Structure 1
Amino acid sequence: MATSTTANKRPKELSEFVFFLPSKFGSIMAGGDTAYLTKIRKTERPVIYIERRKGSYPYTVLLDVVEGFSTNQIDLTEDTIAQIRKALRTRQTTKGCLEQVEISERVFYCYYRTIEDAVAVANTLAGIEYKIEHRTV
């Protein structure tokens, strides 16, 4: 299935729970879409976005638990982490795909060669039922 988009337009097939950052936009957290972040936090979901950069794998799919959800005092369950890892690997990605950025496994991202692969992965991530565990402080 061909994805209908140009480099700087949101793909029509993209889930409403995924934010699309056109090239050279910057970061969703630095001047990103406030309405998107509010919607994600109200629905208790992680931030998921596709960002377009330069290079042979120009599309980054990122899932950020810290910026999503209404509280950051949570951890994902092992089952949910396994689903995220599986989703990130369903399409061809770089060998340097980061399944986790921190030991706490709260930020995940991978790079993809085509927008179709990035959209497929992002939509899969958006479809996961996120199970969380509340941390005791």
Structure 2
Amino acid sequence: MLAALDPAAGPILADAERQGIAFVRRLFEEWQSGSNRFERPGEIIFGAWQGEGLVGLGGLNRDPYTAEEGVGRLRHIYVLGSHRHLGVGTLLVRDLLRHAESHFRTVRLRAASPDSAAFYRRLGFAACDDPAATHLIRVPPIA
């Protein structure tokens, strides 16, 4: 779990900006303004580390695009380009879904690209026909 977006996250922001991916900048801006710090019940942000370096991050919020209770949203999942296809993203998403089990019954997201859509489908997400989400998955409650 990340307690703050400190200097360790700087390389992730720089990598995303080099690739023209805006949602990482939005994560930093929302964190700085206080509008999203993953602090509400059920919310969390995780980091993936290799040694001392942060190589990936991702969060889980209550879905702000629906008034329906029990719906979470994966947010700002990003892995450094140099660490993709090594299982980092899969571990992040699985950890976030494991956390979601005790807080949400459905988790939704908006895939940023065809490659990310394929990634989420491989992890069990289904495409959905919703203006606010591209994919969703039902999460079983922890027994």
In proportion to residue count, which structure has more strand? 2
Q: Taking structure 1 as the reference length, what is the TM-score of the superposition? A: 0.34
Which of the pair has the greater relative contact order for Cα pairs under 8 Å at 6+ separation?
1
In proportion to residue count, which structure has more helix? 2
